[in-house]
Each structure stands twice: as C-alpha cells, then as structure tokens.
Amino acid sequence: MGKYTKEDIMKMVEEEDIKFIRLQFTDIFGILKNVAITPSQLEKALSNNCMFDGSSIDGFARIEESDMYLRPDLDSFVIFPWRPQLGKVARLICDVYSVDGTPFAGDPRYALRRVLKEAEDMGYFFNVGPELEFFLFHYDDQGKPTTTAHDEGGYFDLEPVGQGEDIRRDITGTLEAMGFEIEAAHHEVAPAQHEIDFKFGSALGIADDIMTFKLAVRSVAKRYGMHASFMPKPIFGINGSGMHTNMSIMTKDGQNAFYDEKAPDGLSQIALHFIAGLLDHVKGIAAVTNPLVNSYKRLVPGYEAPCYLAWSASNRTALIRIPASRGMGTRVELRSPDPSTNPYLCLALCLAAGLDGIKRKLMPPKQVTKSIFEMTPEERTENGITSLPGSLEKALFEYQKDPLVKQVLGDHIYERYLTAKTEEWESYRLSVTDWEINKYLLRY
C-alpha cells in the first residue's frame, strides 16, 4: 500500500496552506523540469489530467506529437522546507504519458521501470546507495557563479573559515525534513568540495532522491549567496566530483544475493557475474554515466578518479570496489559515475549490465590489489587492464558499439541522446579555448 492517497494529499494541501504544487519530471539529459499549479487544479492533476507541451522539452517530442500528460506519483509528495511558511510550496514527481494512455518512451523514469521489472521477473530487487559530491562557490557582482570560494579545507576538515560547514549543516537539516535519512556529511578532499550521503534504498526512489537532493542543495546554498555546482571537474589541478554508486540486489525472500559466507571475500557467484557484466558494458554506458565533455577531465590518473577497468575488494584505484561490509551490507561500488548523470538512465544501464552478466554467467578477471595508478603502462597491459573512454567523443563511439545500451534506453532516448551529445562534442571541438589563446596567440 502506498504512503499517500489522493484524499490525503488534498487534505494536506488545504491544512498546510500550500499555494503552489510543482509537478516535476526529468528530461533525458537529467535536467529537472516542472509545471506549477495552484490548489484549484490539484484534483485535475491527481486524476492524471494535467497536460503539457512535450515539444518544448529538449529531446522529448516533435511538434506534431507534443501533447503529453503528467501522472503524479502520490508517494513523492513533499513540502519544500526552504520555501516561505506562509504560502508554502510542495511537489509531486510525475511519470510522463502519451495521449493514448501509454508510458512515454522518452521518459527516463519509465526506462528505469522497465529494467526493474526485468530484474523482478528474475527474482531480484535492486538497491542503490549514491555518494554525491559538490562544490560551493561564490557569485560575482553580476550574480553569475564563479569558481571562487573562501575555503581551504581538506578531507573531513572542520572548516575554521568560510560558510561551508554552516551550509552543509543546513542542507542536512533540510533533507531530513524532506524524509531523507542522512548517514554522513563532510568536507571532501578538494577546497570548497563537500559530500552528503543518504541511506540506500530501492532504485526508483533513489533516482528520485538524487534529483531532489540536487535541487535542495542548490536551493539552500543560494540562500547563503553561494552556488552549489555538481559539475564533474570545475577547477583544474584538484579533484573533481563523483557519484560513487553502491549497488546490491535482494532476493524475493529478503536475502542479499551478493553475499555467500562460504565464498572467498564473501562474494557469491551472482555478485561475480554482476561485476563481470558491469566491466563488460562500462565503456558502452560511459556516455550516460559521464555525460559531459567536462566529465572526462575528471577521469584521469592522479586525482582519485577511477579510469582503469578493474575490480578489487580493497583497492580504491579500481573502477569497481567491494566495500568491507558483508552480510546484508555486501555491495558493489561503481566509482566512475559523476553527479551530472541522469540518475534514472544511469541506474537502468548499471542494473541491465549486471543482469546481463548474471544471465550470461560472465566471470570477472582476477581482482587487482596493487595501486593501478602506480603501475607502468606495461604492467597494466600485462594485467589486462584497459581504460575508460578518454573523451565524450570516444564514449559516444563505445555507446554505439554496445547493443545493450539501445535495448535499455529504447529507440527514442537512444537516438535523441546520441544526436544531442554528438552536437555537444562538435560544439566543444570547434570552440577556441582560453588554453589555446594563452598557449599559442603570442608564440605564433
């Protein structure tokens, strides 16, 4: 049974003096969209009769097939704590439907639902725990975000100066008021960089939570006159921001399918198949898990970012790490995704890759215990260690080579995503950067 009924929401809106309800959904590029309605339109929305123009959403629909409907997920109802207490604002996360009453093929939430149904048919339920990192920067005099921050803190530091600690504490309280269970909040390695971790849960709910998390972080930071950025690599020479993604699958009887107390390292055959599936497809899904030109400025040696295809139960330089916890806590951590990814598509592809490994009974190579960053190229070759794509262009090449990607995303998302990202790469390739001006203008 769900958490809320239609009547529950109507009653809460009236009793809490809510003036606006935001009907939220996510486009294929991971950008949060919304239609705001007043309470007078709430019953219509809760009856799945709220229509919008899909042709205005990048990557959604052509002008001749633009009418779409938003169907609110009632359990996603929440009041925004950062909005005024008089005339409050609430939200509902929605699925997108076509006029014929079928789920819209371009809805990322639907793409994830399809793969979760496949897992359920195999007897599995997918749990996820993300670790999102972000930077806090100042605005300039024109109100535009900069990459400047009065913060020299490092990993786990309690900052003696700056607003980072206060903002992080306020963000944590805000998230808890929205129903999040926060497990840890701390300063990260780079100056002005922070991480807030929330409890794992079912994949669809966690994808929703990731979108809510980013909105809440930005909203709270802005109240302090700061810009929260989830850009993967905003500053040259320091660590970028990742979204390490911890994954486990549960059986129908509530057991962790990744755990086998009798096996080496406590990892079951299912876990090994899942790891092998991820390694087999991780290049092909990189254009989604790391979707920006800037994403590949993070995935380089020397900044703690994983760029080499390997796995380990202890080694943090490997792409896939198995944290020490066993039993119900046994999980696989994929360290390559960054917070600019569309979480619905990211989790759909990660799960599908792992399930493919299970179905084909793939086995991973021997785990790597030595620091891969300290290996010579020859040593990496001897150990069969290859690299993630080094650019968005190369990632798009791998994207097109892997048939699993199109199968999971469906024709609509696959083609529109490829077109948009190819245009993004071409725009970058043709641009003249400050680096080029500084390097060549005087010399040549």
Residues annotated as catalytic are 53, 131, 133, 188, 195, 244, 316, 333, 335
Q: Residue type for 125, please?
A: F
DSSP code for 201: E
Give the Cα separation of 324 and 313 in Å (integer).
7
Please list the alpha-helical segments (H only) found in 282-326: 286-289, 295-298
Helix (H, G, I), strand (E, B) or coil at 244: strand
Asked if 123 and 166 count as a contact pair (C-beta separation under 8 A), the reply is no
Q: Residue type for 321, please?
A: R
b/e map 323-341, b = 16+ CB within 10 Å: eeebeeebbbbbbbbbbbb
* First vs last C-alpha separation in the chain: 70
Give the Cα separation of 362 and 269 in Å (integer).
10
Asked if 106 and 60 count as a contact pair (C-beta separation under 8 A), the reply is yes
Q: How far is CA 222 from CA 109, 148, 174, 190, 411, in A?
A: 28, 15, 13, 21, 38
Give the Cα separation of 382 and 415 in Å (integer).
37
Count other Cβ atoms within 10 Å, centred on residue 362: 18
Packing angle between helix 108-121 and helix 203-223, nearest 10 degrees?
Answer: 150
Give the Cα separation of 58 and 54 in Å (integer).
8
Asked if 302 and 233 count as a contact pair (C-beta separation under 8 A), the reply is no
Nearest to 319 by CA among 254, 367, 261: 367
Packing angle between helix 203-223 and helix 343-360, nearest 10 degrees?
Answer: 150
- The backbone region for 402, taken as left when phi is positive above 0, alpha when psi lies in -120 to 50, beta otherwise, is beta
Torsion of CA 288, 427, 215, 131, to 10 degrees: 40
